[in-house]
A and B are shown apart, each in its own frame.
Chain A
């Protein structure tokens, strides 16, 4: 009996403690607009998590120093509460819950990766909290009917679509033979669906369709098949592991293929890690600094890259650029809504139609950005072995001419 009483009083003490500690400090405090973000600062996504955070921070500093956000005649500054989601979807969802219900955040920025965005989106949706995300490209994010999710980037199924269309064009409009190898994760499988669509539309044939495991570090079997069946295009998507493994083994096994298209080349620092072996690889990218989009905060892509490098001492990957763009979108939406009402801000976000240094931004019904095409760059090396990524498609922004077909290994 006595023990029961002790337990009961202990539970009530804890309950009282919890109820008093949940004091929301609202989303707008004084002259600050508080945004929340769960970011992978540790765990397997930590490098890209840091790129994302750097992108956010850079935009916050820039917007704040250039006058902040004007709402209702008053000027506000951005501030972000970060939590580390440890690259774990469950943790990310918990942290989103905590940001909203404990910290009182009413506007969210996205995490890194499609998987984590998928974990957080149901939470923000439940509370009606607008979230602008910059690093979740999976198509399934945009088909669930989410009303409060907005992505500044192009969806995953468009990543390598351009490559197939370019190959068909170079083949005189006739369909091509495609070999593909994709990791079994949400993102890569969406890229695959995009290729299937493109192949169907262009009358191309898929002759090898391999799936790669999460622990991928050997794809010799796929490459042996490629050597045997001689496709016109080889497409690989398996995050940085996939890109690095593919280039290493293609070079070692001297696999000749007229076109090689991949994702995650810049995250994998292909040209740095593989040097000349990575030459001629085509890479899908959301952004490249040489694109000519402009805005008044960062100027151009080149200017953004220079400023970013000055602050963080490395060349900005597209993950940082798109993260910075997310803040520009929020600022624009707050000012047009002229209010901090979540519903009004959501409607303003849905009506976004603007240009940033990162690209044009206009959201479709599902929340994906439909006004910014993907770009393809090709790794090109000079005689001294110094390699650079040059944009080759779409033609509007091309800074170099696509080299096609890739010279044979015996001629290099």
Chain B
């Protein structure tokens, strides 16, 4: 245990800011998960792998000389169709089934994606350089890479757009109606099949945005998806399904928690501490959420 993080106020500020910037990105992935969980009652284990796939799209743009920041536009478009494709091939067959079946199905998709990405892109760790500089605060005692700030801003913009879209657009209203009561929505003329496909597509698109941001901020690798799935699962569990401000707060909270765990317990326990927290929260909430569809605001 090392409590250095509390001894120097500058390190405390650094850890908080790093955590918040990271947490916003996690919240974006978690929002996608909350959306499809709420609408379709599916826990998508392949969430993290969709993120990594989105990252590869930005990476390939970077390889071909296009600035990877454009990935946040291109990657969600491609990933939307990937998401719809996965829905049509697999998810529509498990959507009305037991939660356990859908977990198994998406677990299978996750393994398949990992192997396919490894096969197609190789096992090398890659990253896309944005060339964004660094912001210095407090007399250079706190440093924030602009790529992290960029990814937080983009995440917030996408989240706001999505909220507006869900409130104002026809499809958004149909999605919310389906989440509240799929049967009633169907009776009233909502094509729920289409809504499910669109929801899964939107989730994949959000993962695409997040992946592009991760390739700019961190590194990507075919087998790196699982920690992102776990984090978003954890955020959704804490926040609840229909609670967007909750997702944002819980995302940032998790980011800060991870940073502090990193300083206090050591980097090696960073992901481990997330798992531990997840277990504690699950025990605390007694699986309240696991079987219940909640209404999506």
Within A180-204, which residues are at the interface with B (CB < 8 Å)?
A: 181, 184
Q: How far is the CA of A225 from the CA of B10 in the complex (A)?
A: 11
Residues from chain A with Cβ under 8 Å of B227 in the complex: 215
B123 touches A47 (CB 8 A): yes
Query: Can you name the residue of chain A whose Cβ is closest to the Cβ of B10?
Result: A228
> Number of contacting residues on B, CB 8 A?
41
Q: How far is the CA of A87 from the CA of B221 in the complex (A)?
A: 15
Chain A CB count within 10 A is highest, among B122, B134, B268, B271, for: B268
A211 touches B123 (CB 8 A): no
Binds A, one of B11-19, B32-40, B155-163, B184-192: B11-19
Mask of B139-152 contacts with A, CB within 8 angstroms, 1/0 = 00001010100000
A252 touches B147 (CB 8 A): yes
A44 touches B218 (CB 8 A): no
B118 touches A44 (CB 8 A): yes
Q: Is the C-beta of B243 less than 8 angstroms from some C-beta in chain A?
A: no
Within A235-287, which residues are at the interface with B (CB < 8 Å)?
A: 239-241, 244-245, 248-249, 252-254, 268-269, 273-275, 277
Within B259-291, which residues are at the interface with A (CB < 8 Å)?
A: 259, 262-263, 266-272
Q: Is the C-beta of A103 less than 8 angstroms from some C-beta in chain B?
A: no
Residues from chain B with Cβ under 8 Å of A268 in the complex: 124-125
A221 touches B263 (CB 8 A): yes
Name the distance in Å between A44's Cβ and chain B's nearest Cβ: 5
Q: In terms of DSSP, what is the predominant structure of the interface of chain A?
A: helix
Within A220-242, which residues are at the interface with B (CB < 8 Å)?
A: 220-222, 224-225, 227-228, 239-241
Query: Can you name the residue of chain A whose Cβ is closest to the Cβ of B124?
Result: A47
B4 touches A225 (CB 8 A): yes
B268 touches A184 (CB 8 A): yes
B224 touches A245 (CB 8 A): no
Within A95-137, which residues are at the interface with B (CB < 8 Å)?
A: none
Name the distance in Å between A64's Cβ and chain B's nearest Cβ: 29
Given contacts A43-B123, A211-B267, A221-B267, contact A248 B219 (CB under 8 A): yes
Given contacts A213-B270, A244-B219, contact A46 B118 (CB under 8 A): yes
Query: Can you name the residue of chain A whose Cβ is closest to the Cβ of B14?
Result: A224
Q: A224-B15, A252-B134 are in contact. List 8 more A-B contacts (CB 8 A).
A: A42-B119, A46-B118, A184-B268, A225-B4, A228-B11, A241-B125, A252-B147, A254-B143
Binding site for B on A (CB under 8 A): 42-48, 87, 181, 184, 210-213, 215-222, 224-225, 227-228, 239-241, 244-245, 248-249, 252-254, 268-269, 273-275, 277
Binding site for A on B (CB under 8 A): 4, 8, 11, 14-15, 18, 22, 115, 118-119, 122-127, 129, 134, 136, 143, 145, 147, 214, 218-219, 221-224, 226-227, 259, 262-263, 266-272
11 A-B pairs with C-beta separation under 8 A: A44-B221, A47-B122, A47-B123, A212-B267, A215-B227, A215-B271, A217-B219, A218-B218, A221-B15, A222-B267, A239-B125
User: Top 4 nearest A-B pairs by Cβ distance?
Assistant: A252-B145, A211-B268, A217-B218, A221-B262
